[in-house]
Structure 1
Amino acid sequence: MRQRDEFVEEMKARLDEWNADIDKLTAKARQASDEARVKYQEDIERLKKRQAETQQRLDELQHASEAAWETVRQGMEDSWELMRKAFRDASSRFK
């Protein structure tokens, strides 16, 4: 059970970091030209969608039975990888 609790806490911390990073990108987008702002906003919306999906997976993980733990954990890790990739892609366009 300790491993599960540690994993959940690590994922919560990562989501908090992503939320802060999304906020930074949002601030950057506000300072961009109108044309660039539209593109940045599309990226930010995709990131927020991925973040919401990842948060949902985390909620499922927290409430999963011991029998379902590994399956739900794998889903969380997959969701996390998609979030990481989306953020990396969006961040590269913000430079």
Structure 2
Amino acid sequence: MEKRDLYLQKIDAQIDEYSAKLKVMRSKATVVHVDMKLEYLNQVEKLEEKRDDLKKKYKEISKASESSWEDIKEGTENAWNDLKESLDKAIKHFK
């Protein structure tokens, strides 16, 4: 149980970090040039969807039995990595 709890704590911390970054990005949408505003907001919305997907995976793991949570872990890792890479690219792109 301890291994899963640590894993969940790690994911939870990352979700909080990503949510904070997305909040900053969304607030910056008010100051970007009009031509880029729609693209910027669309990108933020896509990232928020990916974050929400990671939250769903988090809930699945937290509710899974001790013997089955490892099976869900791979999908969670994929969602986590996808969100991280997409967020990093978006931050670099919109600087």
Task: Name the % identity.
Answer: 25
Give 5+ residue unaligned stretches, structure 1: none
**TM-superposition CA deviations, 1:52-74 (whole Å, max 9, x none):** 10000000010011221111111
SS in structure 2 opposite 1:30?
coil
Partner of 1:43: 43
The correspondence of residues 15-94 of structure 1 with structure 2, limited to 5 A, is 15-94=15-94
CA distance in 2, matches of 1:93, 1:34: 16
Cα RMSD, aligned residues only: 0.9
Q: Comparing 77-86 with 66-75, which one deviates more in the overlay?
A: 66-75
Amino acid at match of 1:15: I
CA distance in 2, matches of 1:90, 1:46: 10
CA distance in 2, matches of 1:27, 1:7: 30
Find runs of 4+ consecutive structure 1 residues off by over 6 angstroms.
Answer: none
Give 5+ residue unaligned stretches, structure 2: none
Structure 1 residue 12: deviation in Å?
A: 0.5
Amino acid at match of 2:6: E
Structure 1 residue 75: deviation in Å?
A: 1.3
CA distance in 2, matches of 1:47, 1:38: 14
> How many residues align structurally?
95
Amino acid at match of 1:89: K
TM-score by length of 1: 0.95
